[in-house]
Amino acid sequence: EINSLYDEGNFFLCLGKYEEAIKCYDRILKLTPYSKTALGYKGFALQKSNRRSEATHCYEKALNC
């Protein structure tokens, strides 16, 4: 299930559908809360959505996992 969520999230990222991508990464983080990969991708999607403060929080959390 996690791999398919990554695929779906990355697909949405490529399409520029950042909110949909964020939802996928949030679902991954519910299953694996300390996933550096999911936090990094979510941070990137947040950054692309001009939600820089939230993106920074994701990046910092990923670095501290």
Q: What is the pLDDT of residues 8-46, one digit of tens each?
A: 999 999 999 999 999 999 999 999 999 999 999 999 999
Helix (H) or strand (E) holding 46: helix 36-48
Give the Cα separation of 65 and 30 in Å (integer).
15
How many H helices and E strands in the chain?
Answer: 4, 0
Say what the pLDDT of residue 34 is. Answer: 94
pLDDT of residue 19: 98
Domains of the chain in start order, with CATH, are: 2-63 (1.25.40.10)
Region at 32 (left for phi over 0; alpha for psi -120 to 50; beta for the rest) = beta
CA neighbor of 55 nearest in space, from 65, 64, 44? 44
Q: What is the pLDDT of residue 56?
A: 98
